[in-house]
Amino acid sequence: MPVCSDMAWHWDTVLLTVAAISFLAKPAAVSGNGLYSYMDQVTLLDHDNFDRILYNSSKAWVVEFYAAWCGHCINFAPVWKSLANDIKEWQPALSLAVVHCANLKNRKLCQRFEIKSYPTIKLFKAFSKPSSKEEIYNGTELSVVALRHNFIDHLEKHGENEWPPACPPLEPISMAEVRSFFAANEVLYLALIFEDAKSYIGREVTLDMLQYENVAVRRVLKSEENLVKLFGVHKFPSCYLYFNDTTHREVTVKMETRIFYTYYLRRLPGVTRGASKLTPENSTYGFVTEPWKDFNSSKLYMSDLESAIYYSLKMEVGKHRELSGDTLMALKHFITVLTKFFPGRPFIMKLLQITDAWLTDVGTASVSYNALLDVLDNKNGTPGAMIPDKVNWVGCQGSRPYFRGYPCSIWTLFHLLTVQAAKYNKSMTDPLEVLSTLRQYVKHFFGCRSCANQSRSHAAASMDHVRSFNESILWLWSRHNRVNYRLAGARSEDPKFPKLQWPPPDMCVECHDEVNGRHMWITDAVLNFFYVHFSPDNIDYSYLEEEEALLKRQQKVREDTWQDQEKSGPEEDEKKDKGEDQGREEKEESTEPPVMKEEQVNPMIVRRIRSQKRTFVKWKRAAKMEVEDIVDLDSFVNEQYKKPALKDRAENKRTSLTNKRYHGPQLHLQSIDESEESREKLQNWVVGGWDQVNAKKKWIRLLGRSFSRTDTGLCILLYFLSALCLLSMYLYFKMKFRWRKWKYLFTSASVGVQYGREKN
């Protein structure tokens, strides 16, 4: 490994030495953690915690001593971080740590271990004492593979008394041990990896499966002829599963490599993470487990996507009592992106478009969440517009109610939106629209604030480099896998669905490759996989509640609300104050729809100046009003004829969602156009044909409701201007006709005089 030695007289060393002197001249500048943080899967050691953590530990430790100003240390830091992620599953047996020697706090610690060059790597066995003699790794290879193999060699040097208790055996297994294995071990599977003596695959897979139960992994050398013959092994390396009934079968994977073997074994039935990761069954949370829903992991489920939208708008956004400034702008962008790219069912898209239009009308003014909730609940009663009112996880369901769910679904939703944006908007100039929306949503609404802060730092560091829609898809994919790396093995991980690098080999074989012992992603194959997997054609509509049932439930809730308002509405007080005559007038108006309270009315549809009054006011009562009401005919039509509209919809309901899929926002736009057209026809019928349905006297009352004083004044003004215009036109044409007549007489007289002169 290259080192920054104080014995080398190169110009780069001189420059680094000058940098070190200036660095040490400012102690405050070097008091931090240097090149590493707690998110890098390494333990940060210093003078205060070194002895307490390292000595008498039940696992082995590998410690890097470095200085932040060292050029080789800076170059080596990504390798060390990658290695820490690569062997994260080995932590019960072996962990990585760092000591920042450029920190003045650690000066004596580094002197104690005689650190004279950077970086220096020291290996500490399990149960080390302060008097123990640590080993120094002097390898010159900087690759992750070389370091990984060296650490395995280090583990194998542990004596029997020093062996880490959590570390499984790494030596080859014999025929006798195989035959008696299940008698001494309570597991479901014994995975035997046949390999050459110089191969590390068997030991790597053994350590990778260290934290998983019900499976054991052992290596078998090619020289163990009895076992090779018994299992019929014909290639090396290869893997075979051995069962308690002495049967066996070969593991078939695309490539005989560590990552493919590890992934296959983790997905075996009954194989889970260690029980210590699970919450005890007698937990005080008192959750209720829902019936399990069978699902296909290669499919997207509309139920998960709709649940993500419901949870985000009703729960996450709902934490804000008032929306303003950047928070309101983040919500607007979120709704706009959903309206553009989400391939949802028509009634959901219709409500999203109504909400988007309402937010546009709001402008920059702050709004209360209650007002937004009225729009989301469709309090105005617009036919065929709603969002399902509960969560229903299918592909994102967890083994416990607190696992997966919303985080899984919001990732799925934004992956789908990035692909949809790339498919249908390649002519757009902003490939960052969906990613920027995700960034703002996480910043302002995502409930896990530590997760949000980490996501913001990652986005700030690299999102601005995205230049195309394909890069946008791959950027979100890479960040998702980084999060899976970080959360693997955490308490939030579902043991039934461990955090894996996605897509896994069984879903996309072409996405994986291995070069010089290291796993490599084929990004072109990943991109093609995303276009297919996150396509509307791959959405499954199972476990969904049908539109008709949702609309009926919504209608029932609205009718119950109206009945409650009729019992305690403002009309009750008016009857008491104004006597029996006024009461009879109220009774005549009983056919009108009940009026919601002002805070329940959609402000985009009905803008009322005065509350606690009927929307449609009698003509003789209008004179007593202090402020005029602005009447909206759309609200009257929607409420007066809601039941016939729902009845027609029920007669023309669609076929089952499991047999028909909805694609693209074109259907949603068409449905809105049709509803507006039918509404306009209905309005024309109400205004123009009212006298054909009701008695002759009622058209006068309707006219009184439909026109305010301002409307009447405008009509009089227009009538006066029209009369003035007609009078002006009359005078203009009259004068013009007279002018032509006078011109003709004058011309005739002139011609006669001329003729007389010529004759004389």
SS (H, E, C) 316-362: HHHHCCEECHHHHHHHHHHHHHHHHHCCCCHHHHHHHHHHHHHHHHH
Q: Where do runs of H (alpha helix) occur along 113-235?
A: 144-156, 175-179, 181-184, 201-208, 225-231
pLDDT at 694: 45
Which of 32-41, 104-113, 585-594 ranks highest by mean pLDDT? Answer: 104-113
Q: Is 73 among the catalytic positions?
A: yes
N residues, the chain:
760
643 located within any domain: yes
The single-letter DSSP state of residue 746 is H
pLDDT of 488 higher than 70: yes
* The pLDDT of residue 321: 80
Query: Rounded mean pLDDT of 376-387?
Result: 85
What is the pLDDT at residue 675? Answer: 46
Please state, rounded to an integer, the average pLDDT across all residues of the chain.
74
Report yes or no on 169 lying in a domain.
Answer: no
Q: What is the 3-state secondary structure (H, E, C) of 447-504?
A: CCHHHHHHHHHHHHHHHHHCCCHHHHHHHHHHHHHHHHHHHCCCCCCECCECCCCCCC
The token duo for 379 is 């309090």
Which pLDDT score, from 0 to 100, does residue 306 have? 93
User: pLDDT per residue over 413-467, tens digit each?
Assistant: 999 999 999 887 655 668 888 999 998 998 888 877 666 666 666 666 678 788 8
Segments in 62-143 forming alpha helices (H): 71-86, 107-112
Question: For residues 362 and 386, is the Cβ–Cβ distance under 8 A?
Answer: no
Identify the burial level of 585 via C-beta atoms within 10 angstroms of its C-beta, where 0-12 means exposed, 13-18 middle and 19 or more buried.
middle
Note the pLDDT of residue 189.
Answer: 93
Mean pLDDT confidence for 125-133: 86
* Single pTM value for the model: 0.53
pLDDT top residue among 229 and 672: 229
28-37, 221-230, 574-583: range with lowest mean pLDDT: 574-583
- Asked if 76 and 35 sit in the same domain, the reply is yes
Distance CA 325, CA 323 (A): 7
Question: What does the pLDDT read at residue 301?
Answer: 95
pLDDT band at 759 (very low <50, low <70, confident <90, very high): low
pLDDT at 186 over 60: yes
pLDDT grade for 184, boundaries at 50, 70 and 90: confident
Closest listed residue to residue 209, CA positions, set 274, 144, 278, 275: 274
DSSP string, 656-702: PTTT----TTHHHHHHHHHHHHHHHHHHHHHHHSHHHHS-TTHHHHH
Q: Encode pLDDT of 635-648 as tens digits.
A: 443 444 444 444 44
Which of 276, 292, 319 lies at the terminal end of a domain, its last residue? 276
* 387 pLDDT tier (thresholds 50, 70, 90): confident
Quick one: pLDDT at residue 384? Answer: 84
Which residue of the set 70, 239, 396, 511 is catalytic?
70
What is the pLDDT, as a whole number, of residue 460? 61
Assigned domain for 285 exists: no
Shared domain for 701 and 730, answered yes or no, is no
Mean pLDDT of 617-635: 37
- pLDDT of residue 537 exceeding 70, the answer is yes
For residues 201 and 304, state if they share a domain: no
Query: Confidence class of residue 597 from pLDDT cuts 50, 70 and 90?
Result: very low
Q: Are residues 691 and 728 in the same domain?
A: no
Label residues 110-130 b or e (16+ Cβ within 10 Å = b).
beebebebbbbbbbbbbbbee
Q: How are beta strands 135-137 and 238-242 bridged, if at all?
A: unpaired
Q: Do 466 and 594 belong to one domain? A: no
pLDDT of residue 357: 93
Instruction: Please write the tens of the pLDDT for every residue from 343-357.
Output: 999 999 999 999 999
Collapse the DSSP code of 377 into the 3-class scheme (helix H, G, I; strand E, B; otherwise coil) and give the result. Answer: coil
Residue 1: inside a domain: no
Do 699 and 589 share a domain, yes or no?
Answer: yes
**Same domain, yes or no, for 318 and 263?**
no
CA dihedral sign of residues 732, 738, 740, 743: negative
Q: How confident is the model over 564-590, as pLDDT tens digits?
A: 555 544 444 444 444 444 444 444 444
The answer on 96 and 44 residing in a single domain is yes
Q: Could you say which of 4, 73, 101, 110 is catalytic?
A: 73
CATH code of the domain in which 334 resides? 1.20.120.310
Give me the percent of the chain exceeding a pLDDT of 90: 26
Does the pLDDT value for residue 685 go beyond 70?
A: no
Q: Which helix (H) or strand (E) holds 519?
A: strand 518-521
N-to-C CA span, the chain: 134
**Is 29 inside any structural domain?**
yes
**Is residue 388 included in any domain, yes or no?**
yes
Give the pLDDT of residue 2: 45
Under the banding of pLDDT at 50, 70 and 90, the label for residue 558 is low
Query: In this predicted structure, what is the pLDDT of residue 427?
Result: 58
CA atoms within 13 A on the CB side of 246: 7
| Residue 220 parent element (H or E) | strand 215-221
Residue 139 lies in a domain: yes
Helices and strands counted in the chain (H then E): 28, 17
List the Cα angle 348/351/356 in 5-degree steps. 125
The yes-or-no verdict on residue 617 having pLDDT over 50 is no
pLDDT at 376 over 80: yes
Say yes or no to pLDDT of 602 above 50. no
When divided into structural domains, the chain yields a total of 5
Indicate whether 626 pLDDT > 80.
no
CA separation for the pair 75, 421 (Å, rounded): 37
CATH value at residue 264: 3.40.30.10
Residue 594 shares a structural domain with residue 741: no
pLDDT of residue 517: 77
Q: Is the predicted pLDDT of residue 489 greater than 80, yes or no? A: no
Q: What share of the chain is helix, strand, coil (3-state, %, to 5)?
A: 55, 10, 40
Higher-pLDDT residue of 140 and 712 is 712
Say what the pLDDT of residue 753 is. 66
Per-residue pLDDT band at 43 (split at 50, 70, 90): very high
Residue that terminates a domain, selected from 672, 687, 706? 706
The model's pLDDT over 62-80, given as tens digits with 9 standing for 90+, comes to 999 988 877 788 888 889 9
451 has catalytic annotation:
no
Closest CA to 640 of 595, 608, 689: 595
Higher pLDDT, 530 or 449: 530
* Owning domain of residue 713: 708-760
Pair 207, 95 in one domain: no
Confidence (pLDDT) at 540: 94
Q: Is residue 102 part of a domain?
A: yes
Asked whether residue 132 falls in the same domain as residue 204, the answer is no
Report the pLDDT value the prediction gives residue 103, as an integer from 0 to 100. Answer: 83
Residue 195 phi, psi (nearest 5): -155, 170
pLDDT reading at 338 higher than 90: yes
Q: What is the pLDDT of residue 718?
A: 85
Q: Are 305 and 409 in contact (CB under 8 A)?
A: yes
Cα–Cα distances in Å, from 270 out to 206, 267, 492? 18, 8, 20
Q: What are the tokens at 525?
A: 């194959």
Q: Are residues 21 and 128 in the same domain?
A: yes
Q: Name 494's bridge partners.
A: 497
